[in-house]
Structure 1
Amino acid sequence: MSANGKAVHEAQDRALPVCQPERLSESMRYSVLAGGKRVRPVLAIAACELVGRSAAAATPVACAVEMVHTMSLIHDDMPCMDDDTLRRGRQANHVAFGEYTALLSGDALLALAFEHLARGCADLRVVPAERALRAVAKLGNAAGAGGVAAGQVADKASEGKPVSLAMLEFIHLHKTSRLNSAAAVCGAIVGGGTDGQIESVLRYARSVGLLFQVVDDVLDVTRTSEQLGKTAGKDQAADKATYPKLLGVEQAQAYMTELLAMAEAELQGFDDAERAAPLQHLARFIAYRQN
């Protein structure tokens, strides 16, 4: 994870434009290069390697997915959304650069993600155009009405209202899990995976993406802002539906164990245990992380 995360960080540093006005470039770089766990890029690379290709083939996917994710974080922190002032241990983008710059840098990152994915696959000359186009479509669906945007709207609309467990799962499957799934699936696609392999990767990533959010919900009520690097207790303050709120902390933790087992089970169908090991360890890292 550390090595792949570092490689993606360096690739994104090269990919981010230096443009006028400089403030836009600074805002984009401020959030993209702020660090983080790089879970989605690592998912893309590990899935690509799982089906037999090198990490290099998935680097454009890894960078593009992280750009989309960063866009969602910038927009998520804004006053019209979650109104958070802290992200990854420092000021949120809109606090550091102002609201309109933050909004537009998020928009620019979303556009850059697809440009970088298309150009990157073409420049590598090892990813067939049909597979590159398929990856673009998957990522677009995950970023828009089929994923992050739909989940965010449902999340905001549910604040302060009774929310069923089914609706909560809809929110998290779209807001968080869909982008994780897209990262892994796109990695398997550009890696030349078969339809069966891609379906297994999808089911694995769906469980891991939901697991990530359940863990997030639990940490929000069991850790401090200093431990998390972001504002703790904000979901409760906003009267949002969460797994601990609906199930209690202990049952939410039991669900985490169930999701981890489901993710690991999907890897059993792959013959090469060594190639599957990074995804297995990644699932466990997500399950047992402390921030």
Structure 2
Amino acid sequence: MGDFKSDFKNKGIAINQQLAEVFQKNMDTPEVIIEAMKYSLFAGGKRLRPVLMTETCRALCGDVDVIMPLALGMEMIHTYSLIHDDLPAMDNDDLRRGKPTNHKVFGEAMAILAGDALLNYAVETMLQGTQGLDGDMLSNYLAAMRIIMGAAGISGMIGGQVADILSEERVISLQEMDYIHMHKTGALLEACVQSGCLIAGAEPATQGRLISYSQRIGLAFQIVDDILDIEGNEADLGKPIGSDEKNHKATFVSLYGLDASKLKAAELEKEALEMLKPIGVNTRFLEDLASYICHRQK
């Protein structure tokens, strides 16, 4: 796992370099909005989503240069969601990745606009990536973009966030909990894998197995998040623990307890690895990523 963590870190650094290039162009806008966008975008994220997207594509022998604008857009979408999640009207958090949250530095109005701007700039960046593409590659690229935007919208992440808010201060069913986890967190991870499959032109059977893999790691990711909110290390997490309880949120842990949650995460890890076995390409990085997600400490 040590070699994987180093490899994962280096891939994240490469994503950071690409993101920095996207922000080098001159923009006709007040400088403060760029500062607010970059403050959260470069606050030390793991770059899990763009790395998952590019490495799925690479494993299937796809063109990573083609998929890169989609991967960068995905990270902007993820970051905008975090800025808005931290707002007083949502989770009301003061820290994110060990730093004051965006609205604590720039004010609520600018934080809202920074999130909006990142979402819009994500679309601009992804559309820019269509230049020079034609035929099946252009069709596949636009199909991937549609999947990404759908996963970020009301049928994906936003739908999950709405259900999460509606679950506060009440007991919910396992079906409702799965809906929250699979949409709030899992939808973007699934879109990353689907995009990698599309750009690489993967066969339907391979796509199906990788989508099943992504669904399991997406659910596991959120369950581990729930566990870490109870027994994680605040210094490692970069934010206070116990925020779910503070906000009266229903979580897998609150419904089933720590032991059952840990067993479920282990079960999902095993199932995710099983999905990769018959694919017939080098999926070592994706295997290690599944294990990393299920055993992470932050």
Give the TM-score category using the shorter length.
over 0.9
Change (3 A) 1:15 1:124: farther
The Cα offsets for residues 124-163 of structure 1, whole Å up to 9 and x where unpaired, read as: 7797110111011101110101111101111011100111
- Is 1:132 aligned to residue 137 of structure 2? no
Amino acid at match of 2:15: V
- Is 1:277 aligned to residue 250 of structure 2? no
Q: How is 1:154-169 mapped onto 2 (pairs within 5 angstroms)? A: 154-169=163-178
Amino acid at match of 2:9: S
Amino acid at match of 2:10: A
Residue from 254, 257, 270 that aligns with 1:248: 257
**Alignment partner of 1:161: what SS?**
coil
Residue from 50, 54, 62 that aligns with 2:59: 50
Give the whole-Å Cα distance in 1 for the aligned partners of 2:131 and 2:279: 29
Shift of 1:18: 4.6
**Alignment partner of 1:80: what SS?**
coil
Give the whole-Å Cα distance in 2 for the aligned partners of 1:106 and 1:281: 32
Give the whole-Å Cα distance in 1 for the aligned partners of 2:31 and 2:205: 46
Structure 1 partner of 2:4: none
Structure 2 partner of 1:40: 49
Structure 1 partner of 2:3: none
Structure 1 partner of 2:181: 172
Shift of 1:200: 1.6
Structure 2 partner of 1:99: 108
Aligned residues: CA RMSD: 1.5
Question: TM-score under structure 2 normalisation?
Answer: 0.93
Structure 1 partner of 2:192: 183
Deviates more, 1:2-11 or 1:50-59: 50-59
Asked whether the 8 Å contact 1:60–1:120 carries over to 2, the reply is yes
Give the whole-Å Cα distance in 2 for the aligned partners of 1:81 and 1:133: 32
Asked whether the 8 Å contact 1:57–1:191 carries over to 2, the reply is no
Give the whole-Å Cα distance in 2 for the aligned partners of 1:123 and 1:74: 33
Percent of counterpart pairs with the same letter?
37
Shift of 1:224: 3.4
Give the whole-Å Cα distance in 2 for the aligned partners of 1:178 and 1:259: 16
**Alignment partner of 2:283: what SS?**
helix
Shift of 1:110: 0.8
Change (3 A) 1:87 1:58: same
Q: How is 1:1-291 mapped onto 2 (pairs within 5 angstroms)? A: 1-16=8-23, 18-19=26-27, 20-123=29-132, 128-272=137-281, 275-291=282-298
The Cα offsets for residues 152-175 of structure 1, whole Å up to 9 and x where unpaired, read as: 111011100111111111011110
Asked whether the 8 Å contact 1:57–1:126 carries over to 2, the reply is no
Asked whether the 8 Å contact 1:121–1:127 carries over to 2, the reply is no
Asked whether the 8 Å contact 1:158–1:241 carries over to 2, the reply is yes
Aligned residues: 289
**Alignment partner of 2:129: what SS?**
helix
Shift of 1:243: 1.1
Give the whole-Å Cα distance in 1 for the aligned partners of 2:49 and 2:236: 22
Deviates more, 1:154-163 or 1:117-126: 117-126
The Cα offsets for residues 182-212 of structure 1, whole Å up to 9 and x where unpaired, read as: 1111122112222222222211111111111
Change (3 A) 1:278 1:72: same
Amino acid at match of 1:46: E
Give the whole-Å Cα distance in 1 for the aligned partners of 2:95 and 2:182: 24
Give the whole-Å Cα distance in 1 for the aligned partners of 2:132 and 2:271: 37
Asked whether the 8 Å contact 2:83–2:115 carries over to 1, the reply is yes
Asked whether the 8 Å contact 1:118–1:132 carries over to 2, the reply is no
Asked whether the 8 Å contact 2:40–2:79 carries over to 1, the reply is yes
Show structure 2 runs of 5+ residues with no match.
1-7
Asked whether the 8 Å contact 2:181–2:219 carries over to 1, the reply is yes
Show structure 1 runs of 5+ residues with no match.
none
Asked whether the 8 Å contact 2:63–2:199 carries over to 1, the reply is no
Amino acid at match of 2:93: D
Shift of 1:34: 1.2
